[in-house]
Amino acid sequence: MAVTAGSSPTGAAPVRSWRAWLSQYSWLGMGFAFSLSLFYLVMFVIPFGTAIWLSFNNWDYIQKPVFVNTRNFDKLLGDPGFWNALWTTVRFSAVEIFVALSLALLLALALSHLRPVYQYTLLAIYNLPVIMPGVVSVLLWKWLYRTNGGAFNAILESVGLPAQPFSRSPDQALWCITLMVVWIFLGNSSIVLLAAINEVPDSLLEAAQLDGASAWKRFTAVTLPLIQPAMAYQVVTSIIGTMQMFEPFQLMPGPGHSTRTLSLYTYQLGFEVLNLGYGAAVSIAMFVILLSATLFELQRRRKSWDY
């Protein structure tokens, strides 16, 4: 590092050495760094610090916040609402990721056997729901899930199956949302996987084929290890995306608290019951859980992709 040049004590006037120190840097770079720091200070550091601080206080937005030490976190540990929301979030997230990723992998594998022109055209169709605002998807699916006269029940009845309550049933509501979310993100996940599969060298697959490896063996021994980083990326972004998902749970809720996730719980505490301190505590818990889940997943995957 040439940074030490500025501090050379060769008897030069301090002003000169200060200038020398400064002259090695780019004005554009420093200007950018300054505005960036200012932005992240106001939009990230202060809010994040406030969230931590708030979690040790009680505040209803009107009166002065009251310091309550760790009482919010004590309350959280014994709050069935929190544990219920966490359990709902985890079930939704795990099932959504497993189903969506399996389907996306199948889709990407199938597409990889086609010429690029067909790949793009078919992907465009599968990718269509991704571009729709979440609110549009929810309003649409809510209507399709309707108990009386909904399209899905009409299909079930036309093949002789009994009509289902779907979103009206506490047992089915969460899985109705999960199916919709799989529908939304399927195409998007397969883009990343397809990009990775297309990069697997043909020569490796041909060599494996020459050695008599079956299609399944070629997939598990050649393709799958090589697309591991893309899978990891997809899993991690899906964890982050599903844990924070909000629209479906607010706009298509099941009965009672059957579809109340951590994100909806945080929102309700902060903006409906105005218990901002406790809301902040729940959101901090959410941050810790998300961070651990992400790091755990990265660590687990990393082991298998050191080749």
Q: List binders of another protein among 131-170 (CB under 8 A).
A: 131-136, 139-141, 143-144, 146, 148-151, 154, 157-158
Q: Of 9-17, 25-33, 71-79, 164-172, which part binds another protein (CB under 8 A)? A: 25-33
Retrieve residue 73's tokens.
């976190």
Phi, psi of 67 (to 5 degrees): -70, 125
Residue 30 interacting with another protein (CB under 8 A): yes
Please say whether the beta carbons of 88 and 242 come within 8 A. no
Q: Of 71-79, 93-101, 165-173, 225-233, which part binds another protein (CB under 8 A)? A: 225-233
Can you tell me whether residue 66 is helix, strand or coil?
strand
Applying CB under 8 A, among 58, 127, 164, 169 the residue interacting with another protein is: 127
Which residue spans within the chain are E strands per DSSP?
Answer: 57-58, 66-67
Residue 244 interacting with another protein (CB under 8 A): yes
Residue 24 interacting with another protein (CB under 8 A): yes
CB nearer to another protein: give 24 or 102.
24
CB nearer to another protein: give 123 or 174.
123
Residue 51 interacting with another protein (CB under 8 A): yes
Residue 29 interacting with another protein (CB under 8 A): yes
CB nearer to another protein: give 95 or 251.
251
Can you tell me whether residue 290 is helix, strand or coil?
helix
Q: List binders of another protein among 269-298 (CB under 8 A).
A: 270-271, 276, 279-280, 283-284, 286-287, 290-291, 294
Closest distance between another protein and the C-beta of residue 83, in Å?
17
Q: How many residues bind another protein (CB under 8 A)?
A: 104
Residue 47 interacting with another protein (CB under 8 A): yes
Residue 181 interacting with another protein (CB under 8 A): no
Residue 114 interacting with another protein (CB under 8 A): yes
Residue type, 253: P
- State the DSSP code for 169: S
Q: Count CA within 13 A, CB hemisphere, residue 21.
A: 13
Residue 33 interacting with another protein (CB under 8 A): yes
d(CA 287, CA 60): 22
Can you tell me whether residue 26 is helix, strand or coil?
coil
Please say whether the beta carbons of 174 and 259 come within 8 A. yes
CB nearer to another protein: give 1 or 11.
1
CB nearer to another protein: give 22 or 77.
22
Closest distance between another protein and the C-beta of residue 75, in Å?
17
Residue 42 interacting with another protein (CB under 8 A): yes
Residue 67 pairs in a beta bridge with 57
CB nearer to another protein: give 11 or 113.
113
Closest distance between another protein and the C-beta of residue 137, in Å?
8
Q: List binders of another protein among 62-101 (CB under 8 A).
A: none
Q: Of 11-19, 46-54, 79-87, 169-177, which part binds another protein (CB under 8 A)? A: 46-54
